[in-house]
Amino acid sequence: MAHEAAVCGMIAGGVAAALTTPLDVVKTRAMLEAKVSRANLIAADGSQPTNPFFSSRIQATKADGASRRAASVLSIPSRLAQITSQEGVKALFAGVVPRTMWISLGGAVFLGAYDLVSDPFQMKM
């Protein structure tokens, strides 16, 4: 039944989204850090981005040019440890509710629609 597949998709998607949120936080921060680092390197006048989330990181990398390179090559476990030690475990689950809701909805639609469409094509024995 399509509604059962939708419920299973919703549960599976929600659990997977909640459990992988820390990895998504690490990935997003690494991407944003790389974007800000590129912007700083490109800016000829030395202007700083106005986003307060990155201002302390940028100033730290400006003070020590080597730390800019080191921050961009941190492994996933070291980034997880860094976020946990500096901001606490709660920071690793930033955005867990909207992410879980969004992926749960996607799982429900995907598996529900798949079951609905594939049902007529299955051979009955």
CA distance 90 to 83: 9
Residue with tokens 């961009």: 72
Q: What pLDDT score was predicted for residue 2?
A: 84
Contact 9, 108 (CB under 8 A): yes
Give every residue of the chain whose pLDDT is below 50, as ranges. 44, 55-61, 64, 66-71
Q: What is the mean pLDDT of the chain?
A: 79
Q: Give the CA-trace dihedral at 52, 58, 63, 64, to 10 degrees.
A: 150
Pick from 36, 49, 27, 6: which is nearest to 95 by CA? 27
- Residue 55 corresponds to which tokens in the numbers above? 């201002």
pLDDT of 40: 66
On whether the CB atoms of residues 13 and 103 are closer than 8 A, the answer is yes
Q: What pLDDT score was predicted for residue 69?
A: 46
Nearest residue to 39 (alpha-carbon basis) of 20, 22, 62: 62
pLDDT of residue 122: 74
pLDDT value of position 75: 86
| Model confidence pTM above 0.75 | no
Q: What is the pLDDT of residue 7?
A: 94
